[in-house]
Structure 1
Amino acid sequence: MKKTIVIVDDHILIAKALEGIIGNFAEFEVVYVAENGKDLIQKFENNSKIPDIILLDISMPIMDGFETVLWLRENHPAIKVMALSMQGDDKSVIKMIKNGAKGYLLKNTHPKELENALVRLSTDGFFYPDWASKIIFSNMNNDDPANHIKISEREKEFLKYTVTELSYKEIADKMCCSPRTVESYRDQLCDKLDLKTRVGLAVFAIKNGFAG
């Protein structure tokens, strides 16, 4: 069964062009297009299909991408959001990721790269091209939290697993504890490090040498 995608973009010609491109991808299909975040919410309220993935523009009237991805994180956390924008500046990338985006691409991306990004997003749970990864790392707090925040050995062990594809239940099995205990490690670390997502924890783990 194909993964379902919704495109949220106020430029209808671009959205329709994307729909045509994705129509040639073996593993994906576009189920509909929304013109902005408010339009998307209205479609959800009118029982439109909830997709697996949303390709989300940033600059839109009424409800932009920053607001929309935050709403999706709070109301439909299972949906994987890929930002697809002309904006590649540090501020936009970091804000979208902090608000809940699991990937980031520019609109001049080649169709093959888009297809690969969607596959990686589906299998790994996130996808950032090299240029976006560099922005993420360069914007991490230079005053390294690992130097002054106490992280227990068990939390360090948990951090090692955040960069893998293991589910939290599978991580619990690896750590010989309950899934609830693993969730407590996650919540404690997110609180200590002021992070909100597993992606943020994974980036922190890699940057600070906890990834094994």
Structure 2
Amino acid sequence: MKKRIKIAVVEDQELFRNGIITLLNGQSNMEVAFDCGNGEEFLQQLAKIKPDIVLMDISMPVMDGSEATLKALEMHPDLKIIVLSMLDQKNYYARMIKYGVKGYINKDVNLTDLFDAIEEVNQGGLYFSQDIMRQLVLDKEVGQVPNNYDLTVNELSALGMICTGHTNKEIALKMCLSIKTIEKYRNTLIKKTRARNTAHLVMKAIKEDLVLIEG
């Protein structure tokens, strides 16, 4: 029998938390290990039980999700945390990513994406809502990009569009280049930044401020 993914749900809104718990326990490959209403309760439970995945709210009483995430990752650097965010909490986006969370999704996410996020992160991957990634990139200041990886202007431009969810075809049209050239840029970016894949490339770009927006 396949091992079930043990999940901690950290959310102060009881109705929303109970709804998530019901949905997760209804999946054949998932179960809720424990649930909490604030970050302090979470850290107390984490000292006893280490879940496979943590679904972490941000705005909570006593201790918010930002502080709880930082302290939890100090306890368990390999802990896999997925942030549950509201769209108006963009001031937390970059901070939580720099702390080392493995996923970031909106609270209005559909169930398929929620389950996909949990499974992807559980398998060692990353999962970030596209609108959050786009907002993170758009919040960067153009022209203030450190070039620690010897990236060309075209590579930086392509990277900015990769981070905002553009396809190779869309990037090629915007840059007036062939799709084959854009594919080469993508592979070169992964190689130069020593990223594991495109998702990891995007995360490194955001964490290390390697973003140039192509207008």
**TM-score, length basis structure 2:** 0.68
Q: Distance in 2 between matches of 1:141 and 1:27?
A: 42
Mapped contact 1:102–1:199 kept (Cα < 8 A):
no
SS of aligned partner of 1:121: helix
The runs of 5 or more residues in structure 2 that have no matched partner are 152-189
Q: Deviations over 1:11-38 (max 9, x none)?
A: 2221111000111223221111011111
SS of aligned partner of 1:78: coil
2:29 to 27, 48, 53: 27
Change (3 A) 1:199 1:36: farther
Q: Structure 1 residue 6: deviation in Å?
A: 0.2
| Map of 2:5 onto structure 1 | 3
The two structures, once aligned, show a CA RMSD in angstroms of 2.9
Q: Distance in 2 between matches of 1:123 and 1:11?
A: 28
| Map of 2:179 onto structure 1 | none
1:159 to 167, 189, 193: 193
Identity across the alignment (%): 26
Mapped contact 2:195–2:204 kept (Cα < 8 A):
no
Q: Distance in 1 between matches of 2:50 and 2:129?
A: 26
Change (3 A) 1:164 1:92: closer
Change (3 A) 1:65 1:24: same
Q: Distance in 1 between matches of 2:125 and 2:68?
A: 19
SS of aligned partner of 1:4: strand
Q: Structure 1 residue 124: deviation in Å?
A: 4.5
SS of aligned partner of 2:127: coil
Q: Structure 1 residue 88: deviation in Å?
A: 4.1
1:110 and 2:113 are equivalent in the alignment:
no
**TM-score, length basis structure 1:** 0.69
SS of aligned partner of 2:112: helix
| Map of 2:146 onto structure 1 | 145
Q: Distance in 2 between matches of 1:97 and 1:15?
A: 23
Change (3 A) 1:74 1:199: farther
Give 2:82's aligned amino acid: M
Change (3 A) 1:121 1:88: farther
| Map of 1:99 onto structure 2 | 99
SS of aligned partner of 1:41: helix
Q: Distance in 2 between matches of 1:150 and 1:24?
A: 46
SS of aligned partner of 2:123: helix
| Number of aligned residues | 171
Q: Structure 1 residue 141: deviation in Å?
A: 4.7
| Map of 2:77 onto structure 1 | 77
Q: Deviations over 1:135-194 (max 9, x none)?
A: 222234531101xx4759xxx8462333369xxxxxxxxxxxxxxxxxxxxxxxxxxxxx
